[in-house]
Amino acid sequence: MGKARKKPSFSIITLGCKVNQFESETIAQELKLSGIQRIVKNKVPGNEKADTFIINTCTVTHKAAMQSRQAIRQAIRSNPDATIIVTGCLAQTDPDGIRKIKEVHRIVGHAEKYRIPEIVQSIDLPVTTSGPAKKHFQPNPPDKAAFSPFGNKTRPFLKIQDGCNTFCSYCIVPYARGRHRSMPVEDVLASVRIIKEAGFHELVLTGIHLGCYGTDLSPASHLTELLTVLREQKAIDRIRLSSIEPLEVTDELIDLVSASFTRPGHMCHHFHVPMQNGDDTILKRMNRPYGQKEYRNRIQAIHRALPDAAIGADVMIGFPGETDQAYQNTLSFIKSLPLSYLHVFPFSPRKGTPAYTFPDRVPPDLVKERSSEVRVLGNRKRMAFLEKHIHTEIEVLVETTPDVKTGRLKGVTSNYIKVLLDKHEGIENTFQKVLIQGLHDTQALVGRVLP
Ligand code: SF4
């Protein structure tokens, strides 16, 4: 399995969620600090090959797992002499499947993920596999390296929570990432200080189940308490939450966001609240701890307090037992809510979860048809939300990398609107007032920077 030489270059391929992205960047920074060159595909002409490939996998859906396997095979094909290290949720939940790909040198479970830089430099370290996820938050304490101005990010992620105890019937995550655990408050504050000192103006707080933040700490804390401290300490200009479960959108949290409109310590007017389904019977089978009524109540509470807030939702289509009536219930529920965008996923049976064996699977063609209808509805909602901002003045944080499709500068508002801008010297990574001129497409607005 192992090779004994030091590796002067590496490449890291990341699939899946923001937490994976954060963890990959942390690993990459540590490797770079150790003097190992990072090879980013197509960015080093003529030198795309790396000595070590790290594939940080995802298994949240069947497709994500398949893409993860493809990425492993692709890395092996293009770099037959490289050391291949596979980590992430697929490595944790299906190490035997990965072991069948004989060119893989190391499989590293979540518990050992933070040993990857060490493993890359000394590939003879004892073989690690996918042991149970650690009880405590990793890395602990946070590593300063993760926040030197990495990649081309303007709005870095900070993972402050990992794992989940909820066990929704379709979800592999609690098995892959283990139980809920939080980064200690003092470590969060230290990390945010580092991020600010590195010159960043916005921070995206991420976690697998962010709304549980702090409940496992001693003394116990909670998300609103942490955000209050960050705000009081003027820790950073803008704070965004990545995703928060409906019942964790408390009145206190909404009040805090409503009261935090000034910078530094501005809480972004953006809530991503997974709905998954709008039918009570399906929600129950999903083991989601709420029904239509509770979800509506939380969304309306946000909208009442912050009418300009972006409110996004994940919707899962084709869960076993989703009858025509249940689907129609979801559709009309979504129509009735002030949502500004949707992320639509087809149900994907994951081995090891209860829903894998549920009867009454929905035929794939019907899932496809329903998913595209909900996506169209999501686009309409997004357009309506964007259109409300035409001819208004809004503030954006200008990103350091231009828009991939148009090459234009782009900025993001507090309420998560992407605005394309004309070239302007030196405004990257600054807040700018912008006059919105119109729609670019269903995803973005076009604006002019005001003097
Ligand atoms: S809350 Fe449910 S869907 Fe989210 S990570 Fe936990 S088990 Fe999975």
Per-residue pLDDT averaged across 286-292, rounded? Answer: 98
Q: End of a domain among 121, 155, 175?
A: 121
Ligand 1 pocket test, pick from 177, 209, 213, 314 with the greatest ligand atom count within 8 Å of Cβ, gives 209
261 shares a domain with 112: no
Residues 67 and 85 in one domain: yes
Minimum mean pLDDT among 151-165, 259-273, 277-291: which range?
A: 151-165
DSSP 146: G
Pair 423, 348 in one domain: no
pLDDT at 123: 56
| Average confidence (pLDDT) over 259-275 | 96
What is the per-residue pLDDT across 142-163, written as a single tens digit (0 to 9) for each? Answer: 444 444 444 457 888 899 999 9
Mean pLDDT of 110-130: 65
Relative to beta strand 310-317, strand 270-272 is parallel
2 lies in some domain: no
CA of 433 to the centre of ligand 1 (A): 38
Residue nearest to atom 1 of ligand 1 (CA): 166
From its phi and psi, is residue 143 left (phi > 0), alpha (psi between -120 and 50) or beta?
A: beta
Compute the distance between CA of residue 354 and CA of residue 431 in angstroms, rounded to an integer. 47
- Is 64 inside a domain boundary? yes
Write the pLDDT tens digit of every residue in 384-417: 999 999 999 999 999 998 998 999 999 999 999 9
Residues 190 and 226 in one domain: yes
Report the sign of the C-alpha dihedral through residues 274, 258, 339, 203, in that order.
negative
Using CB atoms within 10 Å of the CB of residue 383, give its burial: 0 to 12 exposed, 13 to 18 middle, 19+ buried. middle
CA of 107 to the centre of ligand 1 (A): 24
Residue 245 token pair: 């479960």
Domain-terminating residue out of 387, 402, 428: 387
Is 1 inside any structural domain? no
Same domain, 179 and 92: no
Last residue of a domain, one of 387, 407, 431: 387
113 vs 171, residue with greater confidence: 171
Q: What is the pLDDT of residues 354-364, one digit of tens each?
A: 999 999 999 99
pLDDT of res. 31:
83
Ligand 1 pocket check: which of 17, 161, 166, 248 to mutate, most ligand atoms within 8 Å of Cβ?
166
| Residues spanned by the domain of 109 | 9-121
Which among 166, 219, 220, 158 is positioned nearest to 191, based on CA atoms? 158
Count the domains in the chain: 3
The answer to the question of residue 234 being in a domain is yes
Q: Distance from the CA of 300 to the center of ligand 1, in angstroms?
A: 23
Q: Where are the beta strands (DSSP E) in 22-170?
A: 37-38, 52-57, 83-88, 106-108, 157-162
- Is there a single domain that holds both residue 339 and residue 208? yes
Task: Tell me which residues have their CB closer than 6 angstroms to ligand 1.
Answer: 164, 166-168, 171, 173-174, 208-209, 245
Give the model confidence (pLDDT) of 361-382 as tens digits. Answer: 999 999 999 999 999 999 999 9
Residues 263 and 211 in one domain: yes
